[in-house]
Amino acid sequence: MAKLQAGYLFPEIARRRAAHLQKYPDAKIISLGIGDTTEPIPNVITNAMAERAHALSTIDGYSGYGAEQGEKKLRAAIAATYYADLGIEDSDIFVSDGAKCDISRLQVLFGSNATIAVQDPSYPAYVDSSVIMGQTELYQQDVQKYGNIEYMRCNPENGFFPDLSTVPRTDIIFFCSPNNPTGAAASRDQLTKLVKFAKDNGSIIVYDSAYAMYISDDSPKSIFEIPGAKEVAIETASFSKYAGFTGVRLGWTVVPKELLFSDGHPVAKDFNRIVCTCFNGASNIAQAGGLACLSPEGLKAMRDVVGFYKENTEIIVDTFTSLGFNVYGAKNAPYVWVHFPGRNSWDVFAEILEKANVVTTPGSGFGPGGEGFVRVSAFGHRENIIEAARRLKQLYK
């Protein structure tokens, strides 16, 4: 624990935001920082959750402990909706209380001797959970990296896909696509290379697809679209950013039965044991919501929510582009990755907070490869996005 640096990124941003508010109590802060959904959950979904809650007060509708792996119907609906024709079955799917929680359970599965690689920049939970599990060596202040983690640099020069020829073998490769924070979605060709790389090295890919429904082009929405991926990959996903479930808590992880440790033992069998020992299933009310999400009406409602945030993304992209900034991501993700060449990203964060009362996320919080960038989240009410755009234009005109 002592190795961990400062605060986890988002609590740290919350702290700085609170300090700003203390200094300027009247500041009308707009938060485009933490990627937290803002739009109400569609009625078709909350109605199902309310109905399940009421049913729990009846003798017939009451249920106690559910299967730790999730309700059968929900597992089946996830398999049918997101993995039809990909050979993923209900039994490969573990329903969870969210992707972040599953990443940490996966780290418990891999244990303290596992070696990991991460995209640089990437969502901090991979690295922080690795540090907590004792997989890493000390933080090296000069390079802003932990020892014993491979940071796979992803930047505009390499199209946000790492040069795998320079990446040493690790046991585990965390790969988030569409990426948080850069918004880059890996192409079929890139993922094919990644799968081959993992297979050649005997590595397991943990593929975080929490933003897959934001993909607009023909990038794969699941790693399992790549032939052979079932033998090398785990996929984790979430309802958070599709249905506004960041507070409701529901996600899932796919561990294909084809994925084996080097001794031939199925990874899913051990993960199942972790899930049964360290977890007791997602809330049954949240699971009822998940099932409603995957009904025809629910799917349409989720696509509308995603579409709304994608319109926000366009407004943010237009704003920065019109100011002469280079922006990345955005097309396949609710994040705009804005380049401030040569500048320190915490300085840019502070400048935008101080002068525009807008909270962003400093790129370097996602790894040294994020230095010089800030992540602008498209999660916000439309009027706030428009007002933030106005202030940013004022600031950088």
Site for its own copies in 88-147 (CB under 8 A): 97-98, 100-101, 104, 108-109, 111-112, 125, 128-129, 132-134
Q: Does 156 bind its own copies (CB under 8 A)?
A: no
The count of residues interacting with its own copies (CB under 8 A) is 69
CA distance readout (Å), 206 to 110, 121, 198, 223, 233: 11, 16, 11, 10, 6
Helix (H) or strand (E) holding 342: none
Exactly one of 91, 283, 295, 344 binds its own copies (CB under 8 A); that residue is 283
Residue 382 binds to its own copies (criterion: CB under 8 A): no
Residues 161-220 that bind its own copies (CB under 8 A): none
CB nearer its own copies, residue 91 or residue 246: 246
- The Cα 117–Cα 97 span in angstroms is 25
Q: Does 66 bind its own copies (CB under 8 A)?
A: yes
Tokens of 91: 């039994």
Which residue from 83, 301, 331 is spatially nearest to 215, judged by alpha carbons?
A: 331
Residue closer to its own copies by CB (options 27, 56) is 56
Q: Which stretch binds its own copies (CB under 8 A): 138-146, 148-156, 222-230, 241-249?
A: 241-249
User: Cβ 341 to its own copies, closest distance in Å?
Assistant: 31
Task: Determine contact, residues 198/206, Cβ cutoff 8 Å.
Answer: no
User: What are 70's two structure tokens?
Assistant: 């999730």
Among 145, 221, 249, 375, binds its own copies (CB under 8 A): 249
CA atoms lying within 13 Å on the CB side of residue 167: 29
34 makes contact with its own copies (CB under 8 A): yes
**328 φ/ψ angles, rounded to the nearest 5 degrees:** -130, 175
Residue 358's DSSP bridge partners are 30
The answer to whether residues 274 and 105 touch, using CB atoms and an 8 Å cutoff, is yes
Q: Which of 234, 220, 232, 228 shows the shortest CA–CA distance to 188?
A: 220
Q: Looking at 167, 274, 299, 315, which residue binds its own copies (CB under 8 A)? A: 274
Q: Confirm or reject binding of residue 262 to its own copies (CB under 8 A).
A: no
Q: In angstroms, what is the minimal distance from the CB of 24 to its own copies? A: 23
Contact call for residue 57 and its own copies (CB under 8 A): yes
Taking the CB of residue 104, how many other CB atoms lie within 10 A of it? 18
Between residues 113 and 166, which has the closer beta carbon with respect to its own copies? 113
Helix 43-55 / helix 296-322 crossing angle, nearest 10 deg: 130
Please, which residue, 217 or 263, has the CB nearer to its own copies? 263
Rounded to a whole number of angstroms, the minimum distance from the CB of residue 280 to its own copies is 5
Nearest to its own copies of 148, 283 (CB atom): 283
Q: Is 306 in the site for its own copies (CB under 8 A)?
A: no
User: CA–CA separation, 132 vs 117, rounded Å?
Assistant: 15
Rule CB under 8 A: is residue 39 a binding residue for its own copies?
yes
Separation between Cα atoms, residue 285 and residue 56, nearest integer Å: 9
Nearer to its own copies, 65 or 218 (CB): 65
Q: Are 112 and 104 in contact (CB under 8 A)?
A: no
CA dist., res. 291 & res. 273, Å (int): 25
Please name the helix (run of DSSP H) or strand (run of DSSP E) that holds residue 18, with its range, or none.
Answer: helix 9-23
- 3 lies in the site for its own copies, by CB under 8 A: no
Could you give the CA distance from residue 301 to residue 376 in angstroms, rounded to a whole number?
24
Q: Does 386 bind its own copies (CB under 8 A)?
A: no
Residues in the site for its own copies, rule: CB under 8 A? 1, 4, 7-8, 11, 34, 36-43, 45-47, 49-51, 53-54, 56-59, 61-66, 97-98, 100-101, 104, 108-109, 111-112, 125, 128-129, 132-134, 244, 246-249, 270, 273-274, 276-286, 289, 379, 381
